[in-house]
Structure formats: structure tokens, C-alpha cells
């Protein structure tokens, strides 16, 4: 799986948009970009994933650059409950044994 | 959506004893489950892939005789930490994938089991 690079930490004011970047310059054509987050002392929670088109769901939006070498996760209106470690993971989607390899992620702190 | 349940959520044991952690997929069948370990302030590290009806596949550096994995049914995988020592104290998390529907490519994680070995 392609390696990803994320900033170790970010701050965001409550109510503002949180934009979390991820670099994955060695991504292959069949690899998807996945985002998970982990709130303290809980299991990771799936947020969103995409291949090359921008994606949006009830939690967030995923913007993938045209060359697919980087992406941005956007939480449109961050709340205190969004404080967590956010992991950007690149992997092939298919295959029952296709596993997730976690990097160090970005620790997002949402403040009042 | 898919739900993965882990039990117990917390366990404290004495050094030298064995501890079993259960991972269940609720409302779906999982032929493959993944076990992760997470030390404080570190990322998740994949320990092993649990395969229903066959032997687990362990990641490099993980002792298979110490971390016994049994995937006896399509909804249950167990991780047994044998002869636990204080250095085995960690947060153990399992995950599985519901292959049905639009979430087929999404791994769902359990809430984790915190093991403390005294």
C-alpha cells in the first residue's frame, strides 16, 4: 500500500471548517484513499473514501487532486466532538483480506 | 451499518495468566477479521489476520504462540494472550468487513479491549 504523509497536529475553532491534508504521491491507479478517525480510547471510525472523484457524505467531504497525489478531508462545521486523530490510508479496495495499515495520523483539536 | 462488538472492553489480569478477547460481527458474516494493537500515544499496529476455518496470518514480529487466534465461526474471532506480562498491556482492537451492499469495502472496527497486566 502507498505511504501517506499527514501533519502531526492541527487546531480548528468550533464551527469553522477543518481541512486536513494528506499526501500520497506514490498512489497506484487502483488504490483508494480512505479516511478514518479515532476518538480517544475508542476504535477507529470510518469517515469516507474515494478513488478519484470528490466525495461527500453526512460526515465530511473528500477532495482528491487531479493527479491523485494528495487529498483533503473537510469537516464543514467542526464541533468539539470532532476532536480526534484522523488517519489517511491508501489501499486497494477489493479482496476480503485487504487490510488497513495505519500511519501516525493528524491529531485534530477543536477548540471553543 | 455493520457493527463489530468486542468483549471485554477492559480487563485486568495478573502476570502469567491468559486472557481471551472476543470479536463478534453483528448482523453479518466475516470470513476475515483483523486484530490490531495500540500502545499509548501510538498508532494502530496490525497483529494478525484471522481467517475462518483456517490458521491466522501473523505480521512480522508477532509471536503466534503468544497471541492465539481462533476464528471458529463466521461471526466470532478470539484473541488469547497467553502467559501475559506487563509489556502486553495495550489496547487491542479488531475489525471486520461486511461484504454486502455499498459498505463492502469499508472495515468496521470494534470499540477495543484495554488489557492491563499487573
Sign of CA dihedral B26, B28, B30, B31: positive
User: CA of B57: which chain A residue's CA is closest?
Assistant: A97
Mean pLDDT of B64-68: 96
List the single residue in B34, B91, B106 with the smallest CB-CB distance to A46: B106
pLDDT at B14 over 80: yes
Between B34, B91, B110, which is nearest A99 by CB?
B34
Distance of CA B31 to the CA centre of its chain: 14
Q: List the single residue in B6, B49, B112 with the smallest CB-CB distance to A97.
A: B49
Q: How many CB pairs under 8 A join A and B?
A: 54
Calpha distance A73→A62 (Å, rounded):
5
Question: What pLDDT, in 10s, does the model give residues B15-62?
Answer: 999 999 999 999 899 889 999 999 999 999 999 999 898 899 999 999
Tell me what pLDDT residue B34 has: 94
Share of chain B above pLDDT 70, in %: 97
**Contact criterion met (CB < 8 Å) for A43 and B93:** yes
Tell whether the model's pLDDT for residue A97 goes beyond 60. Answer: no
Over residues A90-99, the mean pLDDT reads: 69
Taking an 8 Å cut-off on Cβ atoms, the answer to whether B49 and A100 are in contact is: no
Q: Where are the beta strands (DSSP E) in chain B?
A: 3-7, 10-13, 19-26, 32-38, 45-51, 57-58, 67-73, 76-81, 90-97, 107-109, 113-117
Nearest chain B Cα distance for residue A5, angstroms? 14
Give the pLDDT score at B47: 96
Closest CA to A50 of A87, A91, A99, A78: A91
Amino acid at each position: 500500500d502507498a505511504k501517506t504523509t499527514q501533519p502531526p497536529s492541527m487546531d480548528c475553532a468550533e464551527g469553522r471548517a477543518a481541512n486536513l491534508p494528506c499526501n500520497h504521491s506514490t498512489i497506484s491507479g487502483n488504490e483508494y484513499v480512505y479516511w478514518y478517525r479515532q476518538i480517544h480510547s475508542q476504535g477507529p471510525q470510518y469517515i469516507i473514501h474515494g478513488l478519484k472523484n470528490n466525495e461527500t457524505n453526512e460526515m465530511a467531504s473528500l477532495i482528491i487532486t487531479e493527479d491523485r497525489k494528495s487529498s483533503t478531508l473537510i469537516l464543514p462545521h467542526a464541533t468539539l466532538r470532532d476532536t480526534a486523530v484522523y488517519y489517511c490510508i491508501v489501499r486497494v479496495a477489493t479482496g476480503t483480506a485487504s487490510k488497513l495499515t495505519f500511519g501516525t495520523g493528524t491529531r485534530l483539536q477543536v477548540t471553543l | 451499518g455493520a457493527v463489530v462488538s468486542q468483549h471485554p472492553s477492559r480487563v485486568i489480569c495478573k502476570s502469567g495468566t491468559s486472557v481471551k478477547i472476543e470479536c463478534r460481527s453483528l448482523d453479518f458474516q466475516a470470513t476475515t477479521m483483523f486484530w490490531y494493537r495500540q500502545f499509548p500515544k501510538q498508532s494502530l499496529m496490525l497483529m494478525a489476520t484471522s481467517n475462518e476455518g483456517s490458521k491466522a496470518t501473523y505480521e512480522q514480529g508477532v509471536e503466534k504462540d503468544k497471541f492465539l487466534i481462533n476464528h471458529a465461526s463466521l461471526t466470532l474471532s478470539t484473541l488469547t494472550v497467553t502467559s501475559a506480562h506487563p509489556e502486553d498491556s495495550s489496547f487491542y482492537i479488531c475489525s471486520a468487513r461486511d461484504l454486502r451492499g455499498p459498505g463492502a469495502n469499508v472495515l468496521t472496527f470494534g470499540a477495543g479491549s484495554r488489557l492491563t497486566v499487573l
